[in-house]
Amino acid sequence: HYIVLFVCLLFLLYCFVCLFIIFTALFCLFVYCFYYAVLFVCLLFLLYCFVCLFIVSTILFCLFVCLLFLLYYFVCLFIVFRYLALLVCLLFSLFSFILILFVSFR
């Protein structure tokens, strides 16, 4: 039990030392190399912008594909309803022809 606690404390100490080293290095970079620090921040900002543009373009592409599928669905429905309307007209014509024949032979 105490060994696990000791290992966890050593790991936390290691993390704090690593964070201290990283923040010290960043502070030195910012103080002594202001130009490179600004360049690094600008590159990070550009990377962030490219990631945002990639996400937005992916979302727009998905919307475009969904719209294409909807368009395909509506075109298929239009074709089906057109043939159904043609079938109804043919059935109505056939019924009218049979009715005319029935009335004329009576």
Domain boundaries, the chain: 2-78
Tens digit of pLDDT for each residue in 35-52? Answer: 766 777 777 778 888 888
pTM: 0.44
Sign, Cα dihedral of 53, 55, 59, 62: positive
Average pLDDT over residues 82-103: 88
* C-beta of residue 29 within 8 angstroms of C-beta of residue 36: yes
Highest-confidence range of 23-27, 69-73, 99-103, by mean pLDDT? 69-73
The CB-side HSE value for 39 (13 A sphere, CA atoms) comes to 5
